[in-house]
Structure 1
């Protein structure tokens, strides 16, 4: 999941690869709430998982944790 998000951030949003770390916030990666909405749509299209509750102050690790929780939840 981390690799997919890291690739999305670099390929789709132009974030420099060296900036993409688990502790980086979306704000630090210069992604605003509109970018996060777009990111959520792309992730949903690729994985079927819906990211909710992340903000520019959320870290990449928090987003991964959220997605991992959704992926492991019973249907």
Structure 2
């Protein structure tokens, strides 16, 4: 399975809508977590959901209110690449 930043963004979009009831029109790659008003517990839950989906350990460490969805997806993609290379 090839995991790209786009596929991670798609998964995050789905989870933000389904789990956190965030309207689709508020979710863009340039949207920050601060703009979504997600608290640290919500960020931790999103990280767990991503980790379960991708089979890697994802944490919310380093995410600030200014972090965009695209930046976070890029960090997650970097975690997946080494895990995939080890298989």
* TM-score, normalised by the number of residues in structure 2: 0.77
Q: Distance in 1 between matches of 2:79 and 2:22?
A: 25
Pick the structure with more helix per residue.
Answer: 2
User: Structure 2: where are the runs of 5+ without partners?
Assistant: 1-7
Q: Distance in 1 between matches of 2:49 and 2:76?
A: 13
Gaps of 5+ in 1: none
| Structure 1 residue 56: Cα displacement | 2.9
The number of aligned residues is 75
Structure-1-length-normalised TM-score: 0.87
The offset of 1:36, in angstroms, is: 0.2
Distance, in Å, in 2 between the alignment partners of 1:50 and 1:8 is: 17
Which among 29, 46, 65 is matched to residue 74 of structure 2? 65
Alignment RMSD (CA, Å): 1.3
Q: Taking CA–CA contacts closer than 8 Å with sequence separation of 6 or more, which of the two structures ends up with the larger relative contact order?
A: 2
